[in-house]
């Protein structure tokens, strides 16, 4: 193996357990760059606590929260994961928030959607057009006519796909859950930032 090849990050599961709160969340360990490791873990922990607050914990004494996570990509110096936070405060059903984070494990950098593409690329329109085609093909009953994604739309990276998604009620009725729109990296290759995480997914050279 090339000594410069980036190994997958070691993932450790932690549990945040308090009255009416039980959240599993990940942390990375064993990274070559301790500063990057600290930066990644701090951002994950910050996001976990932010989701709890967003769901009304501990402000609302009726709120009960459970949380978990999924690792979407852990290769080539890219870590992409999703944090799920479910809150129930009474009523017909609770509410789940899905927040995804994508990092460079060599530097600890947290990527925004715009960082995945070349400077000046009209990624919002290009991705929106692809999502619109999928909405029509899948005959999804949007709450409002779909026009565009947000510049900071939720996303994660899974293998050689960029997955754009929407929160509950953001695009579709609750019963449909989270709408996911996988987009092959090859279909948007002309606008991909070669130095970013999608560029690393495109590379056929072990990194």
Model pLDDT for residues 32-42, shown as the tens digit of each residue: 999 999 999 99
pLDDT value, residue 207: 47
Query: What distance in Å separates the CA atoms of residue 47 and residue 50, rounded to the nearest whole number?
Result: 5
Spatial CB neighbours of 28, under 8 Å, sequence gap ≥ 6: 9, 10, 11, 12, 37, 40, 41, 79, 105
Q: What is the pLDDT of residues 44-69, one digit of tens each?
A: 999 999 999 999 999 999 999 999 99
Query: What distance in Å separates the CA atoms of residue 125 and residue 156, rounded to the nearest whole number?
Result: 18
Sorting pLDDT into bands at 50, 70 and 90, what band is 91? confident
Average pLDDT over residues 86-105: 94
Whether the predicted pLDDT of 2 surpasses 50: no
Sort 29 into a burial class: Cβ within 10 Å, 0-12 / 13-18 / 19+. exposed
Q: Say what the pTM is.
A: 0.94
pLDDT value, residue 127: 98
Residue 205 DSSP one-character state: S
pLDDT value, residue 205: 52
- φ and ψ at 125, to 5 degrees? -70, -45
Sorting pLDDT into bands at 50, 70 and 90, what band is 203? confident
- Asked if 205 and 4 count as a contact pair (C-beta separation under 8 A), the reply is no
Query: What distance in Å separates the CA atoms of residue 133 and residue 11, rounded to the nearest whole number?
Result: 36
Average pLDDT over residues 133-148: 98
Q: Which fold has domain 113-207?
A: Actin; Chain A, domain 4 (3.90.640)
Spatial CB neighbours of 19, under 8 Å, sequence gap ≥ 6: none
Question: Do 1-110 and 113-207 share a fold?
Answer: no
pLDDT value, residue 155: 98
Taking the CA atoms of 25, 102, 202 and 160 in sequence, report the sign of the dihedral they define.
positive
Whether the predicted pLDDT of 1 surpasses 60: no
Domain 1-110: CATH class, spelled out: alpha beta
pLDDT value, residue 90: 86
DSSP track, 139-182: T---SS------TT--EEEETTEEEEE--TTTSS-GGG-S-EEE
What proportion of the chain, given as a percentage, has pLDDT over 70? 96
Spatial CB neighbours of 59, under 8 Å, sequence gap ≥ 6: 53
- Among residues 81, 117, 99, the alpha carbon closest in space to that of 197 is found at 117
- Asked if 70 and 26 count as a contact pair (C-beta separation under 8 A), the reply is no
Domain spans in the chain, listed from the N-terminal domain onward: 1-110, 113-207
């Amino acid at each position: 193996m090339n000594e410069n090849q980036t190994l997958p990050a070691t993932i450790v599961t932690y549990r945040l357990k308090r009255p009416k709160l039980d959240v599993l969340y990940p942390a990375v360990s064993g990274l070559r760059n301790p500063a990057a490791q600290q930066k990644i873990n701090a951002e994950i922990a910050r996001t976990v606590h932010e989701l709890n607050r967003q769901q009304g914990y501990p402000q609302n004494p009726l709120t009960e929260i459970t949380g978990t996570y999924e690792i979407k990509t852990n290769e080539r110096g890219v870590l992409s994961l999703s944090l799920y936070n479910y809150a129930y405060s009474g009523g017909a059903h609770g509410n789940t928030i899905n927040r995804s984070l994508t990092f460079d494990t060599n530097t600890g950098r947290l990527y925004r959607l715009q960082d995945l593409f070349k400077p000046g690329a009209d990624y919002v329109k290009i991705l929106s057009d692809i999502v619109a085609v999928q909405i029509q093909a899948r005959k999804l009953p949007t709450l409002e006519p779909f026009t565009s994604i947000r510049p900071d739309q939720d996303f994660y990276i899974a293998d050689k796909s960029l997955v754009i998604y929407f929160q509950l009620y953001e695009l579709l009725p609750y019963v449909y859950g989270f709408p996911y729109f996988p987009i092959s990296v090859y279909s948007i290759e002309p606008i991909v930032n070669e130095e970013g995480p999608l560029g690393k997914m495109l590379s056929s050279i072990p990194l």
